[in-house]
Structure 1
């Protein structure tokens, strides 16, 4: 029998210092030689990978209360062809986007983007990072999360040398990988321009650090500025899972074979129909997961399924096959249903302020499931899910008809009214209202790849909230006056990246575990906006540090800077 479930609170984990072994300290010159050699090896190493790359850009305009708010956006999703340099194969619907990074966006920015574009920012210098072209000066030692780093300032030997990096690098002190670099490429001119950026690499295995996140920003608040986030993932698409499945040793049960001739194992026509749809769902989800567009089943999916379970239990639903939840890897805000599989995008989950808001979105999608809105059964044939990656979003389209959307909306209202979230629907209404008010400024963020815009769910929370308010009448019998003004500093929605942490190697998603932020100033309330990346770096278990915590840095601190 099903029962209500409570989502677990995030538990703060303490970091236990690791025992360190002695290591012979390096001279400043030796340390720089190792850094240069490791970075040159990194450029060669990356050529074997073809990760997915997503860049989302927001233009900003000044606001008297909030400082700056979105004023237009751009979006790109593609697969990097690092073996060819910084080429990209676009996956979005816009056939006009060129394979080179953002080459067709020049008119929007009133400038033409360099072909290397944002993807180039995964490299410190593709043309050669060495002593002949750079001055590398030690600054200090610093921790980025659990990773001890040596910090250096980097400048081209020849000032104004076009495309050379100018800025600061953070180098982990075990194998001398550059794990972060912050600055810009030099040599901008009237016809070409490089942007400030902060590029991060994460440890995905022993002695393996790969580019994962890039934050870019340019212009002051009064000079039509923009902010951009670039994310990379899918370096090891499906390989680990496939190898584990193939290498499993299956042992037959020791119990004797039982005669099941009398068991109810046959399929009725209805059960066969459901099984066929289930096969279509599996074919689609497996294909999208292999492409890196759908995250492997994990922690976040279980959180969504907990909320769905609560909606089912309080509405006395027994849905067969059971409803499954999955997460689309993209930042765009969208939701969809494939028969009995509900899919929400990572970006949508990121910006939802609380569980009640999540329940409002899921109630709408669960309405489709309850009403039996099916997936195209042709996808049960495996050949129907074989296509070129670049045709993904033209091949799949799970958007519903207006009639199906209206029916699901009404069913979603019913489910939410009977749920444990009915008394908290005010926050969901606040979220949907904020999204509606920002829709014109972030059209690309709310444009779905596969499903429906979240706007289709706007009226669900509003209807539930209105019904709740009508029941709360004062003794005189009059309805309370509607209050459309949110509470001061109320969090209507979170910035992008507010909930989920992405493993760029295997695409696993995890809920962020962060400390309370305390009071939030009005200018810090930035719904749906881009913010800088800042990461607590860790090492994989197979790559634990063995060096003396201060051996290298202490040597650098006491000697002349290189």
Structure 2
């Protein structure tokens, strides 16, 4: 059953008479805080008020992905349905938000960030943060703020637990519960960093009506914050989990991740259907020759449309800005080169890759730019041939002239609110174009250095088709193309058929990874960085978790302006080091032809270290 139906069933529950029972204390007995502990709590309460003031100046993007789960004997639990939501929240207007509308929905005629309370209320219901007893449209935002209306010692009791490091940040841990039995108040645990007394993590739930089980009304969550700028900690991610929820004698669980980014985005200067666009770091791509032929002019027209669209997507917080020597150049662009060179492809301009910041699994092209979603990259295994199989299809689209609609060369066509981006920009290819591109992509792969590893790449396409039967929201593209046909079969069917059968008991076989396995998004400036995390081999079938939502854990560190490799806080902590989960992009094999000198692409990049399994 879909999550919304489950939530609706919960909302319709009515109070029932409970037999009189001897009351037992719900919370542990409060212990007197030492003067040092009490002073830290007081400072944390004051800092929480400052955080609310700071975040009301921001308009971040909020992405929530939910998976319903059921128990499984071999895999512990498996996803059975999913829900995806993407919004940009204007906290300065009473915690309103505006959803990024799907391209399949009718165009939104309303003004920028207007009448959006219903959207955030709907998200609250989907997450179970709403009930008949307390209609709380701010239920969702309460996972970012402990209590925006009064988190203080007049309403809450604090019990000291211990000191604990979260990464390199030392914290004091307190258990918190409300003084009075009121519905919708936080109770759980908070982590307060010892330098400026900011609350950097809290997990728990909200108090239910009377003494009933809280899981009937509110889900448990784990909320994290990062030091994204000097003296500024902001919410970055929330993990929600309920292992079991009773529903007509069937056991249904839930896992969800919410991510926040785009804190440096700004609202337009006036509420209008038009949004001013500023193009920064414009690059002069003119050639030395004085005149342009009709073919050159046509290609330049496509490039102009490409530049306009990419700039608009970056401004809307949907595409990551480029980072010098970042993941795009070191890994993705190198794979492009490894496909171009042996196939003697001569492009009029270099082909580069960019990252679409959504969790949805999709890819597309914009002129000579290949867009791969973060969710797609995250779920692919650390096999270079797998990534090449996806890039080869997009490279074929470019070579076959399946470019973006050139109407976007007129900049005025991109003057619209951010939340209308998916409706206003059409970047998906027709089924005919996709069929043609897949055939061409296979010839590219067969001529490349990846030809002997194609069965391994086919495992991902097989796993994608298998999980795509239930993870429909994850595989529904918002901007580009799905990797699955409308009937649910993979576009690269030939690769999938060449792969061995998926065997859960074969621990050397990892067809796909959980979400969040490759990249992290800087919540302040939207740049993506490769995870600096060790790779562990699965010990059992339950460790594989292909395309699944998993818990979130950050190794926090304080903001350092000198850390140019990672602006803002590093969720993996410590000194940045070469990533260990990246495939090693190889140079063209000896004897393969070099790219043609006239108009060919030369974009070699230093190889990344090979994966290390422990």
1:234 aligns with 2:256: no
What is the distance in 2 between the residues matched to 1:483 and 1:392?
40
**Cα distance, 1:417–1:458 mapped onto 2, change above 3 Å:** farther
TM-score by length of structure 2 reads: 0.74
The alpha-carbon deviation at position 85 of structure 1 amounts to: 3.4
State the Cα deviation string for residues 192-235 of structure 1 (Å, max 9, x = none). 82210000001111110000100001242863111110000000
**Cα distance, 1:320–1:27 mapped onto 2, change above 3 Å:** same
Higher helix share: 1
Equivalent residue, structure 2, for 1:270: 295
**Cα distance, 1:483–1:331 mapped onto 2, change above 3 Å:** closer
**Cα distance, 1:205–1:65 mapped onto 2, change above 3 Å:** same
Alignment of 1:156-555 (within 5 A): 156-158=178-180, 160-188=181-209, 193-220=217-244, 223-237=251-265, 264-298=289-323, 299-302=326-329, 303-353=331-381, 354-456=383-485, 462-463=493-494, 483-486=500-503, 488-489=506-507, 490-542=509-561
Q: Which has the higher contact order (CA 8 A, sep 6+)?
A: 1
What is the distance in 2 between the residues matched to 1:443 and 1:230?
18
What is the distance in 2 between the residues matched to 1:300 and 1:502?
12
What is the distance in 2 between the residues matched to 1:525 and 1:131?
44
Equivalent residue, structure 2, for 1:70: 79
Equivalent residue, structure 2, for 1:39: 48
Please say which of residues 429-438 and 98-107 is displaced more in the overlay. Answer: 98-107
Equivalent residue, structure 2, for 1:8: none
State the Cα deviation string for residues 70-105 of structure 1 (Å, max 9, x = none). 010111111112113332211132579974325289
State the Cα deviation string for residues 263-310 of structure 1 (Å, max 9, x = none). 523221111111111010010010010110111013122121111111
- 3-state SS, counterpart of residue 82 of structure 2: strand
What is the distance in 1 between the residues matched to 2:452 and 2:460?
15
Equivalent residue, structure 2, for 1:557: none
Equivalent residue, structure 2, for 1:14: none
**Cα distance, 1:446–1:365 mapped onto 2, change above 3 Å:** same
- 3-state SS, counterpart of residue 444 of structure 1: coil
Root mean square deviation, CA, Å? 3.0
Q: Are 1:428 and 1:461, in contact at CA under 8 Å, matched by a contact in 2? A: no
TM-score by length of structure 1 reads: 0.81
Equivalent residue, structure 1, for 2:603: none
**Cα distance, 1:398–1:220 mapped onto 2, change above 3 Å:** same
1:121 aligns with 2:130: no
**Cα distance, 1:119–1:56 mapped onto 2, change above 3 Å:** farther
What is the distance in 2 between the residues matched to 1:526 and 1:272?
49
Gaps of 5+ in 2: 1-33, 109-115, 268-276, 564-614
**Cα distance, 1:543–1:133 mapped onto 2, change above 3 Å:** farther
- 3-state SS, counterpart of residue 126 of structure 1: coil
State the Cα deviation string for residues 48-91 of structure 1 (Å, max 9, x = none). 11100011110001112101100101111111121133322111
What is the distance in 2 between the residues matched to 1:268 and 1:539?
55
**Cα distance, 1:107–1:515 mapped onto 2, change above 3 Å:** closer
Q: Are 1:364 and 1:460, in contact at CA under 8 Å, matched by a contact in 2? A: no
The alpha-carbon deviation at position 115 of structure 1 amounts to: 1.9
Q: Are 1:86 and 1:120, in contact at CA under 8 Å, matched by a contact in 2? A: no
